[in-house]
Amino acid sequence: MTAVDELVARALDGDPRAVARLLSLVENGSAELREVAALLTPHAGGAFVVGITGAPGVGKSTTTSALVSAFRARDERVGVLAVDPSSPFTGGALLGDRVRMQEHATDAGVFIRSMATRGHLGGLSWATPQAVRVLDAAGCDIVLVETVGVGQSEVDVAALADTTVVLLAPGLGDGVQAAKAGILEVGDVFVVNKADREGADQVVRDLRATVRMTEHPPGAWRQPILTTVASRGEGLDEVVDAVEKHRSWSADSGEAGRRRVRRARDEIEAIALTGLRRRFAGLHGDARLDELAASVVAGEQDPYTAAEKIVAAMS
């Protein structure tokens, strides 16, 4: 067997060190990923993927950790991917928030990994589905994908999750209100954490008003709005119940299948674009692209003309 064959075989048996090594290959964009994906694909598809997202400071790590406990209490094997798109350059994921996960560190039924997604185009959309596939094939029943931040990463996590939990919290300033518009479109379950703090009621009321204003055709999913105090473990069973309820609804309505096809489609596109990008670089080298860029800066040609030269050369 080749090294990758063996690694995959061990990961399929649930060996945590083999899983960790495969995740490193994903994170580093290894050339062996293609082989890894080919070997894993027939064994993947069993895991239920839950996305957890929200602005910084809402208590994502605490909530994720509590959800791990809740799913473990139901005897499910749980994988956690904490994806941090805010450190594209440094590479290493930040460990500060992960401290809260320590209680699960010695539980053989839990696999936790922090990932940084480097690179520009398609960082999260490219690496995360592959990392999910590793955990899925390794036998995780649930994969929790936690993303820091608002904005594009939120949309990306929703695109790859079966169920997306959006966290909010009171007292985070009006930026959070602004973020809601985007959040509402991606959330299947809303959780207002730090519900014991002043202003929590207002956040709940605002959310309710907005959910009411959203169109819900007959049979559509109505996003529940739950409250938690994750630091004290309060309200988390209800979150798990809501996630399970969304899971059943998705299966019955066919939404689950549609999301998975969309997820695979996004992944195929991301991989194809990466391949095409590499081909540009191979055909022209970085110097040629810099030359074109310099001529655009000088006002000699517009960027469309420059782009067309690249595209034409690839046909």
**Binding to its own copies, residues 271-310 (CB under 8 A):** 271-273, 275-277, 279-280, 289-290, 292-294, 296-297, 299, 301-308, 310
123 binds its own copies (CB under 8 A): yes
Least CB distance to its own copies at residue 179 (A): 5
β-strand partners of 143: 49, 79
Task: Tell me, by CB under 8 A, how many residues bind its own copies.
Answer: 93
**Residue 8 and residue 40 in contact, taking contact as beta carbons nearer than 8 Å:** yes
CA 225, distance to chain mean position in Å, is 21
- The single residue among 89, 106, 215, 287 that binds its own copies, judged by CB under 8 A, is 89
16 binds its own copies (CB under 8 A): no
- The single residue among 12, 44, 211, 229 that binds its own copies, judged by CB under 8 A, is 44
Identify the H or E element spanning 225: strand 225-227
Measure the CA–CA gap between 314 and 211, rounded to whole angstroms: 47
Looking at 12-20, 64-72, 181-189, 225-233, which segment touches its own copies (CB under 8 A)? 181-189
Q: How far is CA 288 from CA 195, 219, 283, 307, in A?
A: 56, 55, 9, 12
- The single residue among 60, 77, 104, 246 that binds its own copies, judged by CB under 8 A, is 60
Segments in 138-235 forming alpha helices (H): 152-160, 174-186, 200-213
Looking at 71-79, 84-92, 220-228, 230-238, which segment touches its own copies (CB under 8 A)? 84-92
Q: Interior CA angle at 195 toward 54 and 223, to 5°?
A: 55
Least CB distance to its own copies at residue 240 (A): 23
5 binds its own copies (CB under 8 A): no
Measure the CA–CA gap between 61 and 147, rounded to whole angstroms: 9
Residues contacting residue 123 through CB under 8 Å, at least 6 positions apart: 85, 88, 117
- The single residue among 3, 5, 17, 45 that binds its own copies, judged by CB under 8 A, is 45
| Residues in region 182-221 near its own copies by CB under 8 A | 182-183, 185
- The single residue among 51, 79, 122, 224 that binds its own copies, judged by CB under 8 A, is 122
Nearer to its own copies, 109 or 271 (CB): 271
Least CB distance to its own copies at residue 85 (A): 4
| Residue 209: Cβ within 10 Å count | 9
Least CB distance to its own copies at residue 24 (A): 18
Nearer to its own copies, 121 or 220 (CB): 121
End-to-end Cα separation, the chain, in angstroms: 38
The single-letter code of the amino acid at 1 is: M
Nearer to its own copies, 105 or 181 (CB): 181
Mask: binding to its own copies, 94-113, rule CB under 8 A, as x and -?
x-xx----------------
Least CB distance to its own copies at residue 305 (A): 7
Say whether 165 sits in a helix, a strand or coil: strand
According to DSSP, residue 83 is labeled E
SS percent in the chain: helix, strand, coil, step 5 = 60, 15, 30
- The single residue among 142, 148, 195, 226 that binds its own copies, judged by CB under 8 A, is 148
Could you please report the per-residue DSSP string of 106-133?
A: T-TTEEEEEEE--SSTTHHHHHHHHHHH
Least CB distance to its own copies at residue 57 (A): 3
**Residue 157 and residue 82 in contact, taking contact as beta carbons nearer than 8 Å:** no
153 binds its own copies (CB under 8 A): yes
- The single residue among 12, 155, 211, 229 that binds its own copies, judged by CB under 8 A, is 155
